[in-house]
Amino acid sequence: MNADLSMITLVSEASFLVKLVMLSLLAISLYSWLLIFRKREELSQAKIDADSFEDKFWSGNELNKLYEDIASTPASSRGMEGIFEVGFKEFVRLKKSAPEPGQVLEGAQRVMRISLAREIDQLEMSLPFLATAGSISPYIGLFGTVWGIMNSFRALGNVQQATLAMVAPGIAEALIATAMGLFAAIPAVIAYNRYSHEVERLINRYDTFLEEFSSILQRQHD
Amino acid sequence: MNKKLLRNVIAGSYALALHIIIVFLLLVNFDSVPTRVAVPRTIDIVQATMVDEQYILDGIAQRQEQLEEKARLEKEVLDHKKEKLQIQQQKRKDAIEHEKKRIDKQKREANAKLKAIEKNKKAAELKKKKKENDEKKRANAAKKLKAEKEKKVAEKKKKVAEEKRRKQAEEKAKKAEAHQLLQDGLVTEMREKEAHRISGVVNKHIGMIGQRIRRYWIEPANATQGMECILRVILLSNGDVKKVSIVKSSGNANFDRSASSAVYKAAPWPHPGDPKVAAMFKDFKFVFRPQ
């Protein structure tokens, strides 16, 4: 009885349910890595954009000119730029037709808050999937393992003389499911923690900018 | 839209490449390890079973002989014990029969005695009944006299009792009045305590509001020391801010705006814990003083 314990045979000889578990874990792992790569690129791009915009904003240029620069680019502006563009546009529009001085600033602020909420929504998108993958995939893997071990013990019950060699392949094959669950979960949890922290910081930056920008608008208006 | 798709595809291909590399590494590592472990184990098991069979067959024959001898010895001992027990049982039976005979004799003698005693008793009961009848007649006559006397005494007692009852009722009324007064005092005291407690909760809540606004407040650049403004805050029941207006401006519009936006940011506002206090803080005015 020379059992072939290579990984391929272990996986291919697993029962249908365990195979299903492994397949779904592989899919979860693939998708969460896809999100990890995409989110990393997205967040670093947002950070670069915010840095360059803040540089431009605090360089002392005229606000009108900055607005024209941003508005003239064909792509719709995102992040801090978007907040600035929307807020300034509304400010100018209301200033021309403003019935009362208080309403101008309030209107601009409201529009910027809406824009900020949209940004936050964008930044936080697809983070929940990482959290779910991180917390769920160990359980899925464990389920596959328990099922596999259960089956191998059931087969053992029908035999008079049990040897370790009869149980070992079944257990080894079942344990692969747990290993895969952990393999999918660990990067997802790390990425979730890291990215949610980064998103938090970005939101804080946007919020502070919004506050500063509205106080500048207030000064201009007076 | 196209750009997004492209990004997804790029990220997906990264992920796929990573998985393929890891699976490949695992396969290479995995194949080399278990074959080395698995071979010596099977040999071990085969050797063990070979030795065991011979040894066990010899052992079983010897054991059986030993067991048979033991069984024979035990049987002899048991037979001996059985004989002894039979002799003892015979002796016990004889003793029990002897005693039974003696008890029967005693019972017969006792029955004869009981019959004699019963005859004597019947004669005595007849005498007693005659005596009792005579006594009853005498007692009835005496009772009638006594009852008349007792009636008179009872009437007198009734009058005295009624007076007593009247007095007691009056006393009770007095006591009840006093009790009412005491209760009123307690109620007012309770109200005072309640008011005291509420004012404590209110003070605590006001302190909390100031702290919370200060935490969310971003100081405007041109604010000077000692500025303050009065805000009017209207809250919804879930703690969200419905409206903030400035009752008294600090003179600096930036400062006012930063204060009111701090109130918005601090939402949802915590519940004070007491429904009465919560009702007070649905719509309140507040002096914002950063220092």
With CA atoms as reference, report the closest residue to A107 among A207, A214, A220. Answer: A214
| pLDDT tens profile B12-67 | 999 999 999 988 888 777 665 555 444 444 455 555 555 566 777 888 888 888 99
Nearest CB to A37; choose among B14, B19, B258 = B14
What are the residue ranges of helices labelled H in chain B?
Answer: 2-32, 34-216, 253-265, 275-280
What value of ipTM does the predicted structure carry?
Answer: 0.71
pLDDT band at A1 (very low <50, low <70, confident <90, very high): very low
Give me the count of residues in chain A: 222
Neighbours of A176 (CB within 10 A): 23
CATH topology for B217-288 is 3.30.1150
First and final CA of chain B: distance in angstroms? 51
Which of residues 197 through 236 in chain B touch A, CB cutoff 8 A?
218, 220-221
Tell me the pairing of strands B229-235 and B241-248. Answer: antiparallel
Which of residues 86 through 115 in chain A touch B, CB cutoff 8 A?
105, 109
**B261–A contact, CB cutoff 8 A:** yes
Q: How far is B19 from chain A (nearest CA, A)?
A: 7
**A191–B contact, CB cutoff 8 A:** no
pLDDT band at B161 (very low <50, low <70, confident <90, very high): very high
Contacts of B18 in chain A (CB under 8 A): 33
Q: Residue A165 and residue B18: Cβ atoms within 8 Å?
A: no
**A164–B contact, CB cutoff 8 A:** yes
Q: How far apart are CA A195 and CA A200, in angstroms?
A: 8
pLDDT band at B165 (very low <50, low <70, confident <90, very high): very high
| pLDDT tens profile A146-205 | 998 888 888 888 887 878 877 888 888 889 899 999 999 999 999 999 999 999 999 999
3-state helix, strand, coil in chain B (%, to 5): 80, 5, 15
User: Phi, psi (5° rounding) for residue A162?
Assistant: -95, 135
Three-class DSSP category at B241: strand
The b-or-e profile of A100-134 (16+ CB within 10 A means b, else e) is eeeebbebbbebbbebbeebbeebeebbeebeebb
**B253–A contact, CB cutoff 8 A:** yes
Q: How far is A7 from chain B (nearest CA, A)?
A: 6
Q: How far is B286 from chain A (nearest CA, A)?
A: 21
Three-class DSSP category at B244: strand
pLDDT band at A23 (very low <50, low <70, confident <90, very high): very high
pTM over 0.95: no
- Kindly report the average pLDDT of chain A as a whole number: 87
Neighbours of A181 (CB within 10 A): 26
* Structure confidence at residue B38 (pLDDT): 47
Contacts of B12 in chain A (CB under 8 A): 30, 34
Q: In what order do the strands lie in the sheet with B283-288?
A: B241-248, B229-235, B283-288
